[in-house]
Amino acid sequence: MPANGTNENDLQEMLATVHGDKQRLELILAEAIQTGAFLQGSRFPTERAIAEYTGLARNTVRDALSRLANRGLIVRHVGRGTFVSTLPQRQRKGSDRSDDANQWRGQQPSPRELVEFRSECEPALVPMIVMNASDDELDELEHLALKGRAAATWWACEAADAAFHAHLFAVTHNSVCFFIGDWLTQARRGQSWLALKQQTFSFQRWGSYQEEHETIVRHLKSRDINAARKVLRNHLSHVQGWVGG
């Protein structure tokens, strides 16, 4: 098991989906970092390995890694290698929060706490999504939901799940919701959450979650607040049962 938290087969499978597309490379790597496939502070795959698994030229890979570094997702140290950043760039730069707030932000909630909060918070997003999200944004949400059908490993399912729920917060067009959603995405990168997800993962459960995601999207695209909120609440109740069980 490499230090970055993924095994070699998972890494090859993930990078094989790049299909020689340099823009897709950055997208896939950023998504993997943001959803916890690469653990915070862990060593990132080398340019050589990424080039080998994707078929892209080394300079193309180097450019993609430079953009990830500029976004604050990775840190590159000459002579030491590349590492996953512990905090996103927007939190490190220009921060005027107190030390107490910084300390709180660095804490990792337990899986139970995380799901407990999400069960109360996410259904409340639905009216804002219905009122504020554009058709294109809901189409993107549908695309993210459908991507889950192709997930073939536990971490790919976790990445698809995290991306779907993060988009719910983003399309509210509410800066407070966006901040909370971003923090929850970072919390899902915590070792306790990922360890539990890996140890208890089943494709049967994921299939149920996947169906619920797609149903949520259908109701949101129909602008049906009550139906979307009900399905989302039931979905999170199922997740809460998994964590509690």
Whether residue 97 has pLDDT greater than 70: no
Evaluate if residue 41 carries a pLDDT over 50: yes
Going by CATH, does the domain composed of 108-244 fall within 1.20.120.530?
A: yes
User: For the whole model, what pTM was predicted?
Assistant: 0.61
pLDDT tens digits along 187-217: 887 778 888 888 899 999 999 999 999 999 9
What's the confidence (pLDDT) of residue 87?
54
pLDDT at 10: 73
The pLDDT-based confidence of 79 (bands split at 50, 70, 90) is confident
| Strand-pair partners of 132 | none
More confident residue, 89 or 115: 115
Give φ, ψ of 134 to 5 degrees.
-80, 165
What mean pLDDT do residues 180-190 have?
Answer: 85
pLDDT band at residue 103, thresholds of 50, 70 and 90?
A: very low
Delimit the CATH 1.10.10.10 region(s) of the chain: 8-89
Kindly report, residue by residue over 118-152, the tens digit of the pLDDT. 999 999 999 999 999 999 999 999 999 998 999 99
Distance of CA 170 to the CA centre of its chain: 12
**Residue 19, helix vs strand vs coil:** coil
pLDDT of residue 165: 94
Per-residue pLDDT at 95 exceeds 60: no
What is the CATH number assigned to the segment(s) 8-89? Answer: 1.10.10.10
Residue 245 predicted with pLDDT over 70: no
Looking at the chain, the domain(s) classified CATH 1.20.120.530 span 108-244
The predicted-structure confidence for 146-176, as pLDDT tens digits, reads as follows 989 999 999 889 989 999 999 999 999 998 9
pLDDT of residue 229: 97
